[in-house]
Each structure stands twice: as structure tokens, then as C-alpha cells.
Amino acid sequence: MKDKIAPSMMCCNFLAMGEQLATFEKNAIELLHIDVMDGSFVPNFALGTDFVKQLKRATSIPLDIHLMVECPERHLDSFIFGEGDYVSIHYETTKHPQRVLSAIRARGAKALLAITPTTPVEVATDLLDDIDGLLVMTVNPGFAGQKMIPHSIDKIARARAFLDSHGRADAEIEVDGNVSIPNAIRMKGAGANIFVLGTASLFGTAPLEENIKKFREEVGLGM
């Protein structure tokens, strides 16, 4: 399965977005991670429908829309996405996850089930035919710049074993939260293949391009 990196767009410098997008394109970034927060499921607000619309127009890099919103079924139609994009919804936010995941796939996108640090991987048992992967939150969702919840590495390994043993070795595992280089090495070792890069590894002091290259090299992702 291909390793992918997904810059967390909420961590971008909004005043230099065009320049940053050009750097992502030049460096063959696989996905753009978009945190949508509703101030209810998570105690923060972030990116929304108009931002997604603008990004879609501005770049051909596929989007990775992470819906941290209550009742995502009410909002899917407000977002532009389709073939090649990824959309994740949280198990904790809807009474009918199967319906929402199917609706995402019906639009040609990959559907991921996101789980917070306290939701066990087994909640995906009856959704195995409806997902293209799991998004394992490695911090409590809501804010950039947090520390990884220590059980995360073990949880990623359990998620990988769970998917493999249920005939879904093809299903992807995305990790989100404090994906620093040392953490990512362990996350990859445990079976993750999509890495959301925020303040822990990408948006720091060094230029973006330097950080992208360093991450790929040190985590062993290749190009």
C-alpha cells in the first residue's frame, strides 16, 4: 500500500496559501488534510465548505476531508468532493455510520471511519464492507500541537491486525495528531500508511520543502 503524506491545512500560513500549495505540488504531496470542526463534537472551529471549494479550484491534489462534526449526514452535500478524494467521518458522531459511509462512496470518494483515542477499533466490525480505511486519532481531536496519547502505537497495531484478520489487508490506516518524525517511525512500524502532518513535523521553523524531504527520508517513505 502506498505511503501518503497529508499536510494539515489548518496549520498552514493562510496569508501564504498559494505559495504553500505550489510547494506541495512541486513535492508530489499525495493529499491535503482538511479539518472541519463544528464547535460541538470538538471544542474548536475550523475549515469549512467555502475553503474546500476554493482549494478544489486551486489545486489538483486530492482532498482528505476530516469531518469532526455532529451528524455528518446533514452536511455531506455542502462539500465538494469526488473521485480520488478521501472523506472521513467519526464513528462517535452519527447513529447511522453505514449510511454516511455509503453516501461518500457513492460520490466516488474513499470513505474512512475515524475513531477518537477512546473508541475501540472493533466498532468497525460491521462496517468492514463500507470503508476504505480507518483514521486513528492519536490525540483528542480539536487542536493542533498536542502530545500523542501513549496507547496510540499499540492501537494502530491492533487496527492493522484487525483489518488484516478480517480480509481487509487493503484497507488504509491514517494517523492524525502529533505525527512527529520519531512518532511516525513507530506509527509506520505499527501499520499506518497515511500521515497527517501538522505542527509536529511540517509547519515549524524550517522551510516546508526541507521538512517534507526530511520527513520522507527519516520515516522511510520514499517518493
Nearest Cα residue to 41 out of 86, 9, 5, 75 = 75
Q: How far is the CB of 47 from ligand DX5 (least distance, A)?
A: 10
Q: Does 66 bind Zn ion (CB under 5 A)?
A: yes
Residue 129 designated active-site: no
CB 207 within 8 A of CB 170: no
Position of minimal CB gap to ligand DX5: 198
Distance in Å, CB of 54 to ligand DX5, minimum:
19
Q: Is 176 in the site for Zn ion (CB under 5 A)?
A: yes
In the list 64, 132, 174, 176, the residue contacting ligand DX5 (rule: CB under 6 A) is 176
Catalytic residue among 64, 85, 132, 176: 176
Cβ contact 101:127 at 8 Å:
yes
Binding mask 10-49 for Zn ion (x = CB under 5 A): -------------------------x--------------
By CB under 6 A, residue 63 contacts ligand DX5:
no
Q: How does DSSP assign 176-215, residue by residue?
A: ES---HHHHHHHHHHT--EEEESTTTTSSSS-HHHHHHHH
Pattern of binders to ligand DX5 over 193-222, x per CB under 6 A?
Answer: ---x-xxx----------------------
Residue 60 DSSP SS3:
coil
Q: Is 35 a catalytic residue?
A: yes
- Judged by phi (left if over 0) then psi (alpha if -120 to 50, else beta), residue 167 lies in left
Q: Which residue in 130, 146, 29, 139 sits closest to 89, CA to CA?
A: 130
Q: Give the C-alpha separation, 184 to 194, whole Å.
A: 10
- Out of Zn ion, ligand DX5, none, what residue 146 binds, judged by CB under 5 to 8 A for its kind, is ligand DX5
Contact partner, 62, from Zn ion, ligand DX5, none, Cβ < 5-8 Å per class:
none
Specify the 3-state DSSP secondary structure of 222.
coil
Verify binding: residue 146, ligand DX5, rule CB under 6 A. Answer: yes
Residues 76 and 80: their CA atoms lie apart, in Å, by 8
Query: From the candidates 35, 38, 85, 132, which is the catalytic residue?
Result: 35
From the list 79, 142, 155, 194, which residue makes contact with ligand DX5 (rule: CB under 6 A)?
A: 142
Cβ contact 46:37 at 8 Å = yes
Positions in the binding site for ligand DX5 (CB under 6 A): 8, 10-11, 35, 139, 141-142, 144-146, 176-179, 196, 198-200
Active site residue ranges: 35, 176
